[in-house]
Amino acid sequence: MDAGGSKGGMKADINVTPLVDIVLVLLIIFIVITPAVNSSVKLPLAKHSPKAVKNKDEKYLTLLLQSKRNDKYEVIGPGAVLIDDKDAKDEKFLITNEVERQKLEDYINRNVSQLSQKVVFVKADADLPFKYINELFQVCRKGGADEASIVTSEDKGEKKEGGN
């Protein structure tokens, strides 16, 4: 009789039952541990930058950068740069036009040279790409400003501390 015969001999098949048991136990362990790990790694993130401290007597130059939109209300580029001052509401500049950009640099130079702190604040549409805001920063620098800062608004849904 054959030792490796077909009737009562050894089989070459692999027993996968212990492998399946181990994989199922590991799967259950990962399912139980994963929510505990995810909830313990929350980091507090700031929603906006701190308010800029302004003296009441000090004047600042604030520019408003609007976005240009198409008929589907998608941002297609920078729009007009407006001056946030009641005396200069009619002033509009385009940073995409070289002549208008030079006029804006001259306007910034005239107004910043009169200030004790040569700081320009920029308010821009939230969905405007930063490269356009950076272009406005470069115009401010060429216009004689020592510093240009982005002005952010507070979240209106946030509760203020100490108030009613």
User: Consecutive 10-residue runs of the chain (164 residues): their mean pLDDT?
Assistant: 61 86 95 73 56 60 84 83 74 84 88 83 84 88 86 60 49
| 19 in a structural domain | no
Calpha distance 105→103 (Å, rounded):
5
> What pLDDT, on the 0 to 100 scale, is given for residue 7?
67
Our count of domains for the chain comes to 1
Structure tokens at 82: 């407006």
**Which residue range(s) make up the domain with 120?**
61-150
CB atoms within 10 A of CB 104: 24
| 25 in a structural domain | no
> What pLDDT, on the 0 to 100 scale, is given for residue 128?
83
| 146 in a structural domain | yes
Calpha distance 128→60 (Å, rounded):
23
C-alpha angle with apex 63: 49 to 81, nearest 5 degrees? 125
Structure tokens at 35: 């929510």
> What pLDDT, on the 0 to 100 scale, is given for residue 40?
54
Phi, psi of 112, deg, nearest 5: -75, -30
> What pLDDT, on the 0 to 100 scale, is given for residue 89?
65
> What pLDDT, on the 0 to 100 scale, is given for residue 156?
57
| 123 in a structural domain | yes
The one-character DSSP state at 159 is P
17-24's contacts with Cβ under 8 Å and 24+ in sequence apart are none
| 105 in a structural domain | yes
> What pLDDT, on the 0 to 100 scale, is given for residue 24?
96
| 37 in a structural domain | no
| 69 in a structural domain | yes
| 43 in a structural domain | no
- pTM of the model as a whole: 0.56
